């Protein structure tokens, strides 16, 4: 592996509090040196000219669906991580709703095997219950040993109080976060979009905000009963649920949460005339909820921006709205959307935007040694042009699927180089 000298960039490392012009030398898969411009002498290294560009920790997406094993027609670990690398990510956490469900160490290991052809690091999140059926716990210790970094039944929320309590109790001593897709499915049956006047007009059954907030509130109540447990709320989308997280955190409870780019960038209006590329779960909400996501991001309540990258084949999305599956792709545009909406529109400092995509998600899920640019740590680096405006074209996506509501969107901030553990995973 050839050494790489990233020269002349603006190095932003939120975890290390660094924001200054520096050269960065990557050698043997590690960050070998970060020095004043021109100081590093490495004649053997390939040089990447980063003048005018930002050099930051490789981005971390703690919520993606890579569809393998079992649904390779939607995405494979190879194509999903290629898309991730193009989006500046060097680490993705893969959800367990695969076929079969990732509820056993063999599957967890299979996902991380070199044969999968991942171009960046894949950290599996294992199922909290067998088959994600919400009945019997999986073997958390064995799953952790195999590489799982958290447990969840994502998409099939753990509704039973007793089983959720059991989950928190089993995960706590192992230091595993319990991730909940907060949706009381008893309140969302048959629903395909946010409940309200728009759903009413479109003749679509609605999913009320209370379906999310009530389960977050229930989970927080259970969390109080388990010392050392950690609840992570996936893809939070409502003001009510965000308020519950904020209040719980003030009381010292270990609750973290993530928000997707689409929930801070779009509202339910994007559905237009039944565009299934605007159908996902949780659904796009009303403007007041979208605004609340921005507030939560700006005030620090939100720990991470996560894409909930959920690829689906064209024929699955070209169906009647109520029949089409939930989910959209998101890996290649997360940075561009975060830059466009948070940095440009809401004036959030660049370092804080980047923290939400690197150091803070790493901290939220306890991913040691990731999300920063410390010398000696793994050479996970993204280099991007913070000023470049570009138009996202779904047809050119590296993902196997093209289901996105952002086709044709103008974004700001474009990835130029992604280095995963010293290897160039993406360059343009």
Q: Taking contact as CB under 8 A, which single stretch among the options 60-68, 103-111, 123-131, 419-427 is the one that binds other proteins?
A: 419-427
Q: Does 323 bind other proteins (CB under 8 A)?
A: yes
d(CA 255, CA 246): 9
Q: Does 384 bind other proteins (CB under 8 A)?
A: no
Among 190, 250, 251, 252, binds other proteins (CB under 8 A): 190
Q: Taking contact as CB under 8 A, which single stretch among the options 37-45, 275-283, 288-296, 366-374 is the one that binds other proteins?
A: 275-283
In the region spanning residues 170 to 189, those forming contacts with other proteins, defined by CB under 8 A, are 189
Question: Can you say how many angstroms the Cα of residue 144 is from the centroid of all Cα atoms in its chain?
Answer: 20
Any idea what the Cα angle at residue 196 is, between residues 194 and 200, rounded to 5°? 100
Answer whether the bond into residue 69 is a cis peptide, omega within 30°.
yes
Among 277, 281, 399, 401, binds other proteins (CB under 8 A): 277
Question: Can you say how many angstroms the Cα of residue 81 is from the centroid of all Cα atoms in its chain?
Answer: 13
DSSP H helical ranges for 251-302: 261-265, 287-298
Among 90, 108, 119, 399, binds other proteins (CB under 8 A): 119
Please identify every residue annotated as catalytic. Answer: 308
Among 117, 228, 349, 369, binds other proteins (CB under 8 A): 117
In the region spanning residues 47 to 86, those forming contacts with other proteins, defined by CB under 8 A, are 82
- Alpha-carbon torsion 169, 212, 259, 295, what sign? negative
Which of 190/252 has CB closer to other proteins?
Answer: 190
d(CA 371, CA 378): 10
Closest CA relative to residue 98, chosen from 115, 76, 82, 119? 76
Cα-Cα end-to-end distance for the chain: 19
Q: Does 287 bind other proteins (CB under 8 A)?
A: no
Alpha carbons within 13 angstroms on the beta-carbon side of residue 332 total 29
Q: Does 269 bind other proteins (CB under 8 A)?
A: no
Among 205, 218, 240, 254, binds other proteins (CB under 8 A): 205
Q: Which DSSP symbol is given to 341?
A: I
d(CA 202, CA 309): 26
Which of 112/351 has CB closer to other proteins?
Answer: 112
Among 18, 139, 274, 344, binds other proteins (CB under 8 A): 274
**Which residues in this chain contact other proteins in the complex, by CB under 8 A?**
1, 82, 114, 117, 119, 189-190, 196-198, 200-205, 272-277, 314-315, 317-323, 393-396, 402, 407, 420, 423-428
């Amino acid at each position: 592996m050839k050494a790489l000298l990233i020269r002349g960039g603006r190095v932003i490392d939120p975890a290390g509090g660094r924001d200054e012009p520096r050269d960065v030398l990557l050698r043997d898969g590690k960050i070998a040196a970060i020095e004043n411009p021109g100081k590093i002498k490495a004649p053997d290294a390939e040089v990447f000219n980063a003048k005018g560009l930002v050099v930051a920790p490789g981005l971390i997406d703690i919520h993606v669906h890579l569809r393998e094993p079992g649904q390779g027609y939607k995405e494979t670990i190879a194509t999903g991580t290629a898309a991730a690398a193009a989006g500046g990510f060097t680490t993705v956490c893969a959800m367990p709703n695969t076929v079969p469900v990732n509820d056993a160490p063999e599957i967890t290991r299979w996902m991380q095997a070199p044969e999968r052809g991942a171009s960046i690091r894949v950290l599996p999140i294992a199922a909290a219950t067998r088959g994600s059926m919400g009945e019997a716990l999986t073997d958390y210790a064995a799953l952790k040993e195999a590489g799982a970094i958290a447990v969840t039944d994502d998409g099939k929320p753990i509704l039973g109080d007793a089983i959720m309590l059991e989950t928190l109790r089993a995960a706590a001593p192992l230091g595993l976060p319990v991730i909940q897709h907060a949706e009381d499915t008893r309140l969302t049956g048959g629903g395909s979009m946010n409940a309200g006047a728009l759903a009413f007009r479109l003749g679509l059954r609605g999913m009320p905000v209370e379906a999310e907030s009530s389960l977050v509130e229930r989970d927080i109540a259970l969390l109080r009963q388990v010392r050392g447990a950690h609840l992570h709320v996936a893809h939070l989308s409502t003001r009510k649920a965000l308020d519950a997280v904020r209040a719980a955190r003030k009381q010292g409870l270990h609750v973290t949460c993530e928000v997707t780019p689409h929930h801070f960038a779009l509202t339910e209006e994007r559905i237009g005339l039944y565009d299934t590329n605007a159908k996902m779960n949780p659904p796009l909400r009303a403007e007041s909820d979208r605004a609340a996501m921005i507030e939560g991001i700006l005030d620090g309540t939100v720990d991470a921006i996560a894409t909930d990258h959920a690829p689906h084949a064209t024929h699955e999305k070209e169906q009647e709205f109520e029949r089409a599956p939930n989910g959209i792709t998101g890996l290649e545009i997360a940075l561009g959307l975060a830059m466009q909406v948070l940095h440009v529109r809401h004036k959030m400092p660049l370092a804080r935007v980047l923290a939400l995509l690197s150091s803070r998600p790493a901290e939220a899920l306890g991913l040691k040694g990731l999300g920063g640019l410390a010398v000696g740590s793994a050479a996970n680096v993204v280099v991007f042009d913070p000023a470049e405006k570009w138009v996202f074209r779904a047809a050119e996506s590296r993902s196997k699927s093209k289901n996105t509501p952002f086709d044709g969107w103008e974004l700001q901030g474009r990835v130029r180089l992604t280095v995963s553990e010293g290897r160039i995973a993406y360059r343009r």
